[in-house]
Chain A
Amino acid sequence: MSDATKPADRRAATPLAALMPDAAKIHRLSAVLTLLLLVAGFSLASQAFFSVNNGLTILLQTSVIGLLGIGMTMVIITGGIDLSVGSVLALSGVGTAMAIKAGLPVAPAMALGVLIGAGCGAVNGLVVTRMKIPPFVATLGMMLMARGLALQLTGAAPISQLGEAFGRLGNGALFRMVEMQSNGFPKVIFPGIPYPAILLLLVAMGAAYMLRRRRIGRHIYATGSNEEAARLSGVRVDQTKLYAYVMSGALAGLAGNVLMSRLVTAQPSEGVMYELDAIAAAVIGGASLSGGVGTVSGTMIGAFIIGILRNGLNMAGVSAFIQQIVIGAVVIGAVWIDQMRNRR
């Protein structure tokens, strides 16, 4: 390019170029700041909030939203949405429980539960890519169908008495230290890191690696950024979307197993509206509903903001109704920030 265009190029490139990465960083920073403010605020409001035990409880509570949020992030980056995760979570948990009741050992039964989730995700993906039905409608249909199936299979009754082994995933902890006291009663020195939290960390690292370092991850971003361009560049757009929906379904299945294991009961009515928490976590974490933008680390921050908000409001004795109002406002605020960012 000759000299004549140089100034024009530079002028067009520099101000925006300086803004773009910063905008993403500012968003991340503001999310972290919000998180810290919440922790500080709730610590002042309630003595019990800022303790090791409550911290671990938050970890445990957040792990389910976190797992759903990671899958949701992948789907949102492709420019889609998955409204079915809450119902798929219930169906998978019910599937696992029924397999255990049928005599299957716990591990293969849980694998089956995850597979059921992946299967639901595959149906979502195929309906979106083959039948060309908008993701909102396709996954809304799956939300109703999976919930209906879970209720039908169980007769709307919870499946209980699943045995101690089933409860280990949700209730067990690593590095749990218990000391026998002289009076014969055990004393818990450190309650341990809950298995669900460890599982969440592993899944988050795996998903981040997949999105950043693997080809399929690059294609997920490209598909959401400009689907037609991705297709013309040789990205197999349909397969990429299918992959994202299957991952979302499988992670919903995994989250279902964690949740049901924690309750040691399979509840077919569990997980109602969880999809909204997952979407909120992704959006608070910086994922854009118009596609092409989003990170696993951001979604983790978003999940913890929601988890801490729920936990902290509970500890402060705020009623469940007020909690809904607060979280609704937070979600609108987060999407508003996203809109502001896109307008720039």
Chain B
Amino acid sequence: MSQPPLVEMIGIEKHFGGVRAVDHVSLDLFPGEVVGVLGHNGAGKSCLMRILAGAMIPNAGEIRVNGSPVSFADPNDAREAGIETIYQTLALADHLDAPSNLFLGRELKTRLGNLDDARMLAESRKVLARLNPNFKNLQDPVSSLSGGQRQVIAIARAIYFDTRVLIMDEPTAALGPSETAMVANLIRQLQSEGIGILLVSHDMHDVFDLCDRVVVMNKGRLVGAHRIDEVTKDDVLSLIVKGELPADWTARNLEAAQ
């Protein structure tokens, strides 16, 4: 690949007291690539994603966007660099309606500096209709919406703006099968638009279905980074559970070629 990676994380470290949550992890992501980030709960993958999203400040290490070093002091900085995140918790303000949540932190304003609620509603209607044509009750507080609708708002918020890198933290955990399929289609579509996606997931099926590469974390360390055709589900499970590949492992695609 001749073009520079969209994002490089180099030697990232984060510790809490004596606990090394992220221990010297490096990771890169190219345009139009989906990279699965796997690991146990507490393996440090969420920490790593939060660092890239600007929600957590690393103790050491460097982040480069398009080859130039950046430092993210808060989520706004990461968003300005085109890095959007869909959090597992969705990060929605329950008492506000869909447009307010979609534009939270990036409100549209009229020339006088007032909130332009009419335009935010119209824009929300457009982007939400693309994801879910049945989404009509836009002006209800999001606490009264279904899990699927809430997820759609969180996704819409991440793709509405000029996104180049998308972090998806278990985007399908709260969804039914058909909604999961919708998210999978969306991922493929974004991928074809040249957006780089980091997909945090526990669902091995999704990962093998959608990802070009997988990286596996175990106890804060990066224990494996492979092209998806190099490994089987069992190999990845072994990485997740034991932190190492099976003893007799060779790259599966080479094996098949022999």
Instruction: Give A residues with C-beta under 8 Å from B.
Output: 1-2, 4-6, 8-10, 12-13, 16-17, 19-21, 212-215, 218-219, 221-222, 224-226, 228-236, 292-293
Contact = CB atoms under 8 A, between A and B. Distances in A.
Contact of B134 (A6, A19, A231, A293): A6
B71 interface: no
Given A5-B178, A20-B144, A214-B115, A234 B75 contact: yes
A252 to B, nearest CB: 26
Contacts, number: 123
B107 interface: yes
B229 interface: no
A259 B100 CA distance: 39
26 contacts: A1-B152, A4-B177, A12-B146, A16-B144, A17-B144, A19-B144, A20-B140, A20-B144, A213-B115, A214-B113, A218-B107, A221-B95, A225-B96, A226-B91, A228-B89, A229-B90, A229-B92, A229-B104, A230-B93, A231-B74, A233-B91, A233-B105, A234-B104, A234-B106, A235-B105, A292-B94
B174 to A, nearest CB: 12
A222 B100 contact: yes
A224 B89 CA distance: 17
Contacts of A8: 146, 148, 176
A234 B157 CA distance: 12
Nearest to B115: A213
A20 to B, nearest CB: 5
A118 B249 CA distance: 68
Contacts of B79: 234
A219 B89 CA distance: 19
Contact of A13 (B144, B157, B179): B144
Contact of B178 (A2, A10, A231): A2
B154 to A, nearest CB: 10
B163 interface: no
Contacts of B85: 232
B37 interface: no
A20 B143 contact: yes
B149 interface: yes
A232 B55 contact: yes
A40 to B, nearest CB: 34
A13 B137 contact: yes
A293 to B, nearest CB: 6
B258 interface: no
Nearest to A292: B95
B204 interface: no
B87 interface: yes
Q: 5 smallest A-B Cβ distances: which pairs?
A: A234-B105, A12-B146, A225-B93, A229-B91, A292-B95
A8 B147 CA distance: 10
- Range class of the B interface residue count: 35 or more
A14 to B, nearest CB: 8
A230 B85 CA distance: 13
Q: Is the interface of B mostly helix, strand, loop or mixed?
A: loop
Contacts of A232: 53, 55, 75, 85, 87, 91
Contacts of A221: 93, 95-96, 100
A203 B124 CA distance: 33
A19 to B, nearest CB: 8
Nearest to A237: B74
Contact of A233 (B94, B104, B137, B144): B104
A312 B185 CA distance: 66
Given A12-B146, A16-B144, A292-B93, A235 B104 contact: yes
A157 to B, nearest CB: 47
A216 B170 CA distance: 31
Contact of A215 (B90, B95, B115): B115
Contact of A1 (B74, B92, B115, B182): B182
B182 A2 contact: yes
B19 to A, nearest CB: 21
Contacts of B92: 226, 229
Contacts of B114: 213-214
B191 interface: no
A234 B104 CA distance: 7
A39 to B, nearest CB: 32
B242 interface: no
A279 to B, nearest CB: 20
A263 B74 CA distance: 49
Nearest to A12: B146
B233 interface: no
Contact of A17 (B106, B107, B140): B140
Contacts of B140: 13, 17, 20-21
Given A230-B93, A231-B75, 14 more contacts: A1-B178, A1-B179, A4-B176, A4-B178, A8-B176, A20-B144, A215-B115, A218-B107, A222-B100, A224-B95, A228-B89, A229-B92, A236-B74, A293-B95
B76 interface: yes
Contact of A225 (B74, B95, B137): B95
